[in-house]
Amino acid sequence: MTVVPPRPGGPADPWCQARRWYERALGWPTSGEAPLELLTGDRFDALGLPLDAGAAVLGRPVRTGPVVLDARARRLWFLLAAGSADELPELLDWLEWGTVALDLAVLGPGGRITAPVPTEPERAVWVRPPRPGNRGGGIEPPLPVTGLGGEGGAPDLARLVGAAATEAHRARMLRALGARRRPPGEGQPLAFSYASRMSAGTRPRSLTL
């Protein structure tokens, strides 16, 4: 089930209503023009995954912040605390994914993602919608932040990135296997980082009670 922003009072144009909701209720900067986009790097950064990998992350017991589905690009964008984009390369190295080719995209200052608008579900929709907080504070507390366990009740960025890397790698390899129509029983080429499995809550079987 997808959720779109409420339609506040104001001009009848749904695009204008959506812009007002993002800018006034959430305090998020937008492109200010159609097609409406949300600007990253100020109130949040964004981590992008292909649809199959992103859907798999949503099925894991990993806490996330708001999530946008870019329907045209078939990509899910997970909103992160501002500043996370700069930390991602080092975090991937720490999780032992730094040398693996992953279909991950991260947007910080200067980036933008498609903004869901109620009348344009073919462009983008909220899979996990944002919720307005106290004026001036926005919704930053629920956004994934650096630090094991998160801070102030926020989701843990390391666990989310570990899960995202694992599922992006899995999806990429499965797509490659499907394209090659590899017959069963020829071995398992998937190589998952030990650190990321631990951080994502998927421990090796030998360590599972």
Residue 180 pLDDT more than 60? yes
Which pLDDT score, from 0 to 100, does residue 37 have?
97
Residue 62 pLDDT more than 90? yes
Token pair belonging to 16: 């204008």
Interhelix angle 157-180/84-94, rounded to 10 degrees, is: 70
Q: Which residue has the tokens 């995209």?
A: 105
Residue 151 pLDDT more than 60? no
pLDDT mean over 85-89: 95
Mean pLDDT of the chain: 81
pTM: 0.78
CA distance 96 to 91: 9
Question: For residues 47 and 146, is the Cβ–Cβ distance under 8 A?
Answer: no
Q: Which residues contact 53 (CB under 8 A, 6 or more apart)?
A: 103, 164, 167, 168, 170, 171, 172
More confident residue, 16 or 194: 16
Cα angle, residue 197 at apex, residues 149 and 97 outer, rounded to 5°? 95
pLDDT mean over 17-29: 93
